[in-house]
Amino acid sequence: MKPYLLLATRADDAAAEGEYQGFLRFGGLAPDELHRVRVEQCPLPPIDLERYSGIFVGGSPYNSSDPEEEKSVEQRRVEQELGTLLDEVVAEDFPFLGACYGVGTLGRHQGAVIDRTFGEPVGAATVTLSGPGAEDPLLEGMPEAFTAFVGHKEACATPPRGAVVLASSPACPIQMFRIKENLYATQFHPELDVDALVERISIYRNAGYFPPDEAEDYMRRARGFRVDHPARILRNFVRRYAVS
């Protein structure tokens, strides 16, 4: 099988490794089946799509909706490089699944309104499939409503033209969308289980997602949830697009 590619932008090594392990585990992939490029560390090398079965984009400390003058040099570089790659990915309708930051990258590239209207605190949300979502092959086997982990400052307020909204939650109307046939983005994190979220809360306690002195409370609440359905999306993606 051709490997998958994970484009990561988490500068914290522990968070980056946890994310990578989540995509491996829930995607049912071996390390040699998931190549990773940490784009925040170095310029994105030329990507030959013919070498890969599909592309994942993980979460990020970056926010696409930040004012340009407030973005770091590294963030502007990452956005430019991912945008250039998306020019080709979208044109070819190449299998793509972006988790959380994927909404900002793919959505912004395709003309969505990305802002802070529908940000969600770190925790669990009840996500409900739309009619098209219930019929989408990437959501095969998913219940009509399921619990997923979220935590984001920005979200998609208006979807890209032609996008199909696949799932929503009460606080965030666009939790997942599809463009063309093979380009997907989720606002929730399909790569996170309870232990991974607890670790991430610890790592990002000073990142502005919640008051630092409430981190232990957020961890305690996270341990009270059972979140097992979103991982199916990663498995479905891997099975659907694996090519030799």
State residue 47's pLDDT score: 98
**Which residues have CB under 8 Å from 219's CB, separation 6+?**
198, 201, 202
Quick one: which H or E segment has residue 46?
none
Q: What does the pLDDT read at residue 207? A: 87
Q: With H, G, I as helix, E, B as strand and everything else as coil, classify residue 57.
A: strand
pLDDT at position 244: 82
Give the count of beta carbons closer than 10 Å to the beta carbon of residue 208. 10
pLDDT digits (tens, 9 = 90+) for 97-130: 999 999 999 999 999 999 999 999 999 999 999 9
Q: How far is CA 241 from CA 3, 15, 109, 179, 244, in A?
A: 10, 27, 23, 16, 10
- Residue 102 CB coordination number (10 Å): 26
What is the reported pLDDT for 209? 87
The pLDDT of residue 185 is: 98
Low-confidence ranges of the chain (pLDDT < 70): none
